[in-house]
């Protein structure tokens, strides 16, 4: 017995248990692996979609930063942060083939898109501009750091968008594959311009069209290439009179009350300098109205007795006096929808928007001849005893009660209620243009400077109009994602 116990192999007794254990473990492992693979694939699919969405918005963030920083009044404008080493001075067109990069290095990585051997090369430029003489980006190209690599954001260590670079360059007929001048030729060396409706090869047609191309790359390798075409689109504000009463076909007629004082003038002669701008020889009407049935408003102007004949005070020094005539305003000012759209556009680009009634104390202190501002009062505005001068574009949607102690240099738009009152004395005046329009068809615009009112009147000034014209953002002319 003793020998048998010694001879019996101990392992043979446990073999069946081992086999069963291994078998069961195998089964459980198969099931576990299947579940892991299943959930892993699902996570991967969800992750892919998240990456695709994330990298899309990262690229869009780069495009928007570049578009925003092209705007001169942006605190981080390229012309402020990179005044001498990036884009050419304002008003100077970009040359074909010149490339400028907004770069967003993360963690100190090198971003040199013009280098084809770099981590994030710009291979798209050659696709669009090759095989012409602009087959590759400028080497090296001027660069500007993103706001995420500049203070104050840099010091905050905030995780910014993961775009790598945004290229800024001019475009041509050939690069876009268009024939802007319908000459059946694809011009590769002439930059394109935007006339407000179409592209053009003519530099005088309008501002230059710029192409913004953004590359965004996520750490997992997801990447997208997005592209904008942008151009600044100035407000279509042309004034054909020093004072315009936009009445449309409203009934009753435009209200027009003017003082019987010798120092109140409405002049359509271009005058007053602003900065380096000098007035030209052009003239506009003194007072213009858009509805021919408003011609009787001239009766408000005193013509007698001879010593109080004020008709000569409404002049442009060329047309017969009183120069109160029908005028045509631009198409966007002829409809309520167009006027509302204009108000919205100005509001979106204003320096100051005051919602509710306001007084002179609401006027920003930063206004100056060299820094005119766009101010929107979404309500009534009342000046009273304000012995000061405003500069810029003033838009009032309610009633504007003016105290002629003040002067305004620039553009005054009273659109909405369309009422401009002045019932006090003073020697202030408007230099630029004044425009009144009502968006309520049953309520015509009302210009009411009572006979006791002071004020030296309204004087057309193209220089102040130009200085006060708001800077509007670069409009997106087109967008698309570039297939890679």
Which residues bind to other proteins, rule: CB under 8 A? 3-4, 7-8, 16, 20, 23-24, 27-28, 30-31, 34-35, 38, 41-42, 45-46, 48-49, 52-53, 56, 127-128, 174, 176-180, 182, 186, 194, 197-199, 337, 340-341, 343-344, 475-483
Contacts of 404 (CB under 8 A, 6+ apart): 422, 424, 425, 426, 427, 428, 429, 453, 454, 455, 456
Residue 446's beta-bridge partner residues? 255, 419
| C-alpha to C-alpha distance for 299 and 288, rounded to whole angstroms | 14
Q: Pick between residue 176 and residue 218 the one whose CB is nearest to other proteins.
A: 176
Interatomic CA distance for residues 394 and 390, integer angstroms? 9
* Separation between Cα atoms, residue 306 and residue 192, nearest integer Å: 59
Contact 208, 231 (CB under 8 A): yes
CB of 17 to other proteins, least distance (A): 10
**Cβ-based nearer residue to other proteins, 416 or 454:** 416
Which helix (H) or strand (E) segment holds residue 81: the answer is helix 78-81
Tell me how far, at minimum, the Cβ of 147 lies from other proteins, in Å.
21
**Closest approach of other proteins to the CB of residue 177, in Å:** 4
Q: How far is the CB of 165 from other proteins (least distance, A)?
A: 19
Sequence-distant (6+) residues with CB within 8 A of 253 are: 247, 291, 293, 294, 296, 297, 444
Q: For residues 302 and 347, which CB has a smaller minimum distance to other proteins in the complex?
A: 347
Parallel/antiparallel/unpaired status of strands 100-103 and 163-170 = antiparallel
- Cβ closest to other proteins, residue 56 vs residue 272: 56
Closer residue to other proteins (CB): 210 or 274: 210
Closer CB to other proteins, 109 or 183, in the complex: 183
In the complex with other proteins, the residue whose CB is nearer, 2 or 75, is 2
- Minimum Å gap between C-beta 482 and other proteins is 7
Q: What are phi and psi for residue 44, nearest 5 degrees?
A: -65, -40
Residue 46 CB, shortest distance to other proteins, in Å, is 8
Which of 370, 374, 420 lies closest to 397 in space, CA to CA?
420
Cβ–Cβ < 8 Å for 323, 458? no
Least distance (Å) between residue 351 CB and other proteins? 20
Contact 403, 449 (CB under 8 A): no
């Amino acid at each position: 017995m003793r020998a048998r116990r010694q001879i019996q192999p101990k392992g043979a007794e446990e073999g069946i248990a081992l086999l069963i254990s291994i078998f069961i473990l195998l089964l459980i492992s198969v099931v576990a692996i299947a579940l892991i693979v299943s959930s892993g694939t699902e996570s991967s699919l969800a992750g892919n979609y998240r990456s695709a969405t994330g990298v899309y918005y990262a690229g869009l963030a780069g495009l928007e930063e570049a578009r925003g920083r092209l705007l001169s009044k942006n605190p981080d404008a390229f012309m402020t942060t990179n005044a001498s080493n990036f884009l050419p001075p304002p008003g100077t067109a970009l040359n074909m083939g010149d490339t400028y990069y907004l770069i967003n290095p993360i963690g100190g990585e090198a971003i040199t898109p013009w280098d084809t051997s770099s981590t994030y090369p710009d291979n798209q430029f050659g696709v669009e501009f090759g095989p012409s003489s602009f087959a590759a980006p400028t080497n090296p190209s001027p660069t500007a750091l993103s706001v995420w690599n500049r203070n104050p954001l840099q010091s905050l260590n905030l995780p910014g968008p993961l775009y790598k670079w945004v290229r800024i360059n001019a475009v041509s007929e050939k690069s876009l594959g268009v024939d802007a001048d319908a000459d059946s030729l694809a011009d590769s060396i002439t930059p394109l311009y935007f006339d407000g409706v179409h592209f053009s090869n003519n530099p005088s047609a309008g501002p230059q069209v710029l192409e913004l191309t953004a590359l965004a790359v996520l750490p997992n390798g997801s990447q997208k290439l997005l592209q904008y075409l942008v151009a600044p689109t100035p407000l279509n504000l042309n004034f054909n009179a020093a004072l315009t009463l936009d009445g449309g076909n409203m009934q009753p007629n435009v209200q027009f009350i003017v003082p019987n004082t010798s120092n109140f003038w409405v002049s359509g002669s271009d005058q007053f300098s602003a900065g380096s701008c000098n007035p030209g020889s052009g003239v506009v009407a003194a007072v213009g109205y858009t509805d021919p049935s408003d011609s009787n408003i001239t009766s408000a102007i005193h013509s007698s007795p001879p010593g109080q004949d004020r008709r000569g005070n409404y002049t442009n020094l060329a047309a017969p006096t009183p120069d109160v005539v029908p005028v045509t305003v631009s198409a966007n000012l002829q409809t309520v929808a167009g006027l509302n759209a204009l108000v919205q556009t100005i509001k979106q680009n204003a320096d100051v928007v005051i919602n509710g009634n306001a007084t002179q104390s609401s006027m920003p202190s930063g206004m100056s001849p060299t820094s005119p501002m766009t101010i929107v009062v979404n309500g009534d505005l009342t000046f009273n005893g304000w012995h000061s001068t405003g500069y810029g574009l003033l838009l009032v949607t309610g009633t504007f009660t003016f105290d002629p102690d003040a002067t305004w240099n620039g553009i005054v738009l009273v659109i909405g209620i369309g009422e401009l009152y002045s019932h006090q004395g003073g020697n202030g005046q408007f230099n630029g243009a004044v425009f009144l329009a009502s968006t309520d068809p049953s309520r015509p615009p009302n210009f009411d400077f009572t006979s006791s009112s002071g004020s030296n009147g309204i004087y057309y000034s193209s220089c102040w109009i130009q200085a006060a014209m708001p800077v509007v953002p670069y409009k997106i002319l087109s967008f698309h994602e570039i297939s890679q």
